Amino acid sequence: MPLNEYTGTLGLNRAAHLLRRATFGPTKEQIETFASLTPQQAITQLFNQPLPDPILSVDPDTNQEWAVSGVTDSNKMDEEYQEYFKRWFIGQMLSAGVPDAQSLAYAAREKLVMFLHTHFTAIQEKINSSRALYFQNQLFRIFALDRTAPAEFNFRELTKKVSVDNAMLRLLDGNQNVKGSPNENYARELFELFSIGRGLEGSLPPTPAPGDYILFKEQDVQAAARVLSGFDFDNNFNTLDPDTNLPRGKVRGSDNFASGHDNGIKEFSTSFINPLTGQPYVIQPNPLLTNGSNATLASVLGEISQLIDMIYEQEETARHICRKVYRYYVYHEVTESLHNTIIAEMANTFRANGFKLQPVIENLLRSQHFYEAAAGYDDDQFGGIIKSPLDLIIGTLRFFNYRVPDMVTNASSFYEITGEIISLADHQGMSYYQPFDVAGYDAYHQFPVYHRSWITVNYLTRRYEFIRKLVNSMEDSMLKVDVVSFVRDTFSTAVTSNARTLIVELARLLLPVSNNLTFDTNADDTATITAERMNYFLIAFLENPKIDADPEGAWTIRWTNGFDPETVRRQLENLFNAMLQSPEYQLH
């Protein structure tokens, strides 16, 4: 049965929690709007409204799209177009050019697209094709919101599509996997990373024997490699998938004679028992699809479909995928108890909905567990995830309602800004589209460190440097926000004229836990941020109290009367520096 759902009104804290996790970050107005909704209403707004397709990436020198048409500047290397694609995807995370009413829902979809990218890995240097990267990204987008899509659009079917996707064929050498000379790289990662996994991390028994990976065996990898044989990278991107209308890999030989495919019988281990026969699965070509004794495109795709269906019949496949969803949206630690309750129920929802991912995520984001609203909850999910560099950078820009230049009318400036975001993320430890290995970015898979890998002394320093340069008018930086204008345009005078009230309001919007805030050290027992921390923000804001006999009164006079604007600017910059460089702000 689905997870128990929270039915009350969200309120400010829960609304902010939802929007930070489900999107790339909200504005004050968006948090306050969602605060009046129930989780059901909020999820409907985030995941169940019509959304525009992304505007195609354009070449800034010609202002023409290149990904679909393949028409590129003959004087440019493909590496330039690969960078255009990556910067274009950053623009989607920012909801660039999307109407405000659709901005959050658009970002929620892109957060799901990013999840699929973290699951089905891509490494730019190995794939080395801008169009392959683009079409894979678009494949993820088609499958991201699958709840109301036709039945064939689900995570199991996406796994089939990915298995013959051009980018994946090149990444894991599927294009080198041919009859008589099998390449097992993709088959191995299909089992270990993309589907059944190797069990709950931290609770695995010792490996029973060489070639036995507990949930699958070396025999299964070898058999699967033979099933997957016979595809090649399509440099022309002319081979279209009939369901998605997107390019995929091409079969070696021809559609009527797939000459590179191993057309023999593939026998699997006792890890995969066919419930109809009680014996290990056997996959072989369907004689109704072959051309005599020769494999065809249809028969090869049929074998791949059998393989993926076999893997998805296993309970652990659903649990492995649901663990990754849980870690992406909730928390990294999955205990055996949680695995046998929350994860098990997520897996049940996954299977009951025909392996559609959206119902699982929607139920999770409506659940009491996600909001800690059930009696007896004593763990702390709020602020439990260290923000990725992209979540930090893009979330901060979205909070300040930062607008990137229009890609259609000012493509060069658009790519310059989004390229700067990628550079900042790289300096903070996220090599965007260049993870170190085929398992992807460490934060999403590496037991037991997970998201803590985002924080080192150097990376934390660079996070703080990003904030300082963003909000400080005297610092040289491509990305800038005017904090004075932001405060004036965002908050009422009743809030902005009182230093303590302004700090409390900012804390409630920016920091993951902000209940019962006070500046009184004798009254902060129930506060989620200590009075000591609140006073630190106050001192940073008003500078050294000795400058003014009454620092708080002086702030009120300066702000209300427009007096001494340079001091006002410096004080606000100091405040935002202190709050956005705090350890609490690194969490969501």
* Residue-by-residue pLDDT tens, the chain, 588 positions: 799 999 999 999 999 999 999 999 999 999 999 999 999 999 999 999 999 999 999 999 999 999 999 999 989 999 999 999 999 999 999 999 999 999 999 999 999 999 999 999 999 999 999 999 999 999 999 999 999 889 899 999 999 999 999 999 999 999 999 999 999 999 999 999 999 999 998 887 777 888 999 999 999 999 999 999 999 999 999 999 999 999 999 999 999 999 999 999 999 999 999 999 999 999 999 999 999 999 999 999 999 999 999 999 999 999 999 999 999 999 999 999 999 999 999 999 999 999 999 999 999 999 999 998 555 544 457 888 999 999 999 999 999 999 999 999 999 999 999 999 999 999 999 999 999 999 999 999 999 999 999 999 999 999 999 999 999 999 999 999 999 999 999 999 999 999 999 999 999 999 998 888 998 999 888 878 899 999 999 999 998 656 788 999 999 999 999 888 999 999 999 999 999 999 999 999
For the chain, how many structural domains are there in total?
2
Task: For residues 534 and 436, state if they share a domain.
Answer: yes
Residue 524 lies in a domain: yes
Task: For residues 285 and 419, state if they share a domain.
Answer: no
pTM of the model: 0.96
Residue 11 lies in a domain: no
Residue 565: strand, helix, or coil: helix
Strands 282-283 and 250-251: unpaired
Task: For residues 302 and 427, state if they share a domain.
Answer: no
Q: Looking at residue 208, what is its pLDDT?
A: 80
Residue 143 lies in a domain: no
Q: Looking at residue 103, what is its pLDDT?
A: 97
Closest CA to 234 of 255, 210, 265, 204: 255
DSSP code at position 586: G
CA atoms within 13 A on the CB side of 543: 13
Q: Looking at residue 498, what is its pLDDT?
A: 97
Angle between helices 130-144 and 100-119 (to 10 degrees): 110
Residue 351 lies in a domain: no
Residue 252 lies in a domain: yes
**Cis-peptide, bond into residue 565, ω within 30° of zero:** no
Q: Looking at residue 202, what is its pLDDT?
A: 85
Residue 506 lies in a domain: yes
CA atoms within 13 A on the CB side of 508: 21
Range(s) of the domain holding residue 203: 155-313
CA distance 102 to 30: 11
Apex 504 CA angle, 571 and 574, nearest 5: 20
Contact partners, residue 565, CB within 8 Å, separation at least 6: 484
Task: For residues 294 and 420, state if they share a domain.
Answer: no
Contact partners, residue 359, CB within 8 Å, separation at least 6: 147, 349, 350, 353
CA distance 478 to 458: 21
Residue 451 lies in a domain: yes
Other CB atoms closer than 10 Å to residue 377's CB: what's the count?
12
CA distance 559 to 252: 71
Structural contact between residues 453 and 429, judged by C-beta atoms closer than 8 angstroms: yes
For 296, the token pair is: 């065809």
Task: For residues 394 and 309, state if they share a domain.
Answer: no
Residue 383 lies in a domain: no
Closest CA to 105 of 159, 48, 54: 48
Q: Looking at residue 546, what is its pLDDT?
A: 64
Last residue of a domain, one of 266, 292, 313: 313
Ramachandran quadrant class, 335 (left: phi over 0; alpha: psi -120 to 50; beta: rest): beta
Q: How far is CA 285 from the centre of its chain?
A: 37
Element holding 561 (H helix, E strand): helix 551-561
Last residue of a domain, one of 313, 339, 361: 313
Task: For residues 302 and 173, state if they share a domain.
Answer: yes
Structural contact between residues 218 and 272, judged by C-beta atoms closer than 8 angstroms: no
**Cis-peptide, bond into residue 205, ω within 30° of zero:** no
Structural contact between residues 381 and 333, judged by C-beta atoms closer than 8 angstroms: no
Q: Looking at residue 544, what is its pLDDT?
A: 61
Task: For residues 422 and 565, state if they share a domain.
Answer: yes
Ramachandran quadrant class, 429 (left: phi over 0; alpha: psi -120 to 50; beta: rest): left
Contact partners, residue 553, CB within 8 Å, separation at least 6: none
Last residue of a domain, one of 289, 313, 337: 313
For 397, the token pair is: 């820009």
